Structure 1
Amino acid sequence: MNNICGKNVANFRKKLKISQREIADRLQLTGLDVDKNAIQRIECGKRFVTDIEIIALSKVLNCSYAELLEQ
């Protein structure tokens, strides 16, 4: 496992009823070059997530950094 936020990313995304592609699109609007496949790998714990990505994910998912990092 390469991250601890993946399951939380998936949970917050599902609460918002948006697709992995929509998350990728929203992240691209913040300046991050992330595609749907990267979101899929993040959610299943197969991809490292940088601090910059944690900040952007918290913004697009309307949650705190701490909520993304809860185990």
Structure 2
Amino acid sequence: MKIYAYHGKKNVSGEKIRQVRHMKRMSQSALAAKMQVEGVLLERDSISRIESGERFVADYELRVFAKVLGVDVKWLLNEN
């Protein structure tokens, strides 16, 4: 399967995930742990790669990111 880039990144939500994680003063490790509690097995390194746009984000991962971070999925997908 080929994963395409959009404006040089493999996802459009990574910057928003980093933004809200910082606002909540949460480490990447803490976010990974919260994701794992919800059934999505991600390591701290995966969070880092998602935030930098180096890793694709699956739809089910995006839903759990939104739930754990307390934001709407639409907000994570919005470029503004």
Bigger fraction of residues in helix: 1
The residue number in structure 2 matching 1:32 is: 40
Distance in 2 (alpha carbons) for counterparts of 1:24 and 1:5: 16
The residue number in structure 2 matching 1:64 is: 72
List, as ranges, runs of 4+ consecutive aligned residues in structure 1 with deviation greater than 6 Å.
none
The residue number in structure 1 matching 2:31 is: 23
Length, aligned pairs only: 71
Aligned AA (1:69): L
Return 5+ residue gaps in structure 1 as ranges.
Answer: none
Given candidates 3, 7, 11, the residue that maps to 1:3 is 11
Indicate the structure whose relative CO is greater, using CA pairs within 8 Å and at least 6 residues apart. Answer: 1
Return 5+ residue gaps in structure 2 as ranges.
Answer: 1-8
**Once superposed, what is the RMSD of the aligned Cα atoms?**
0.4
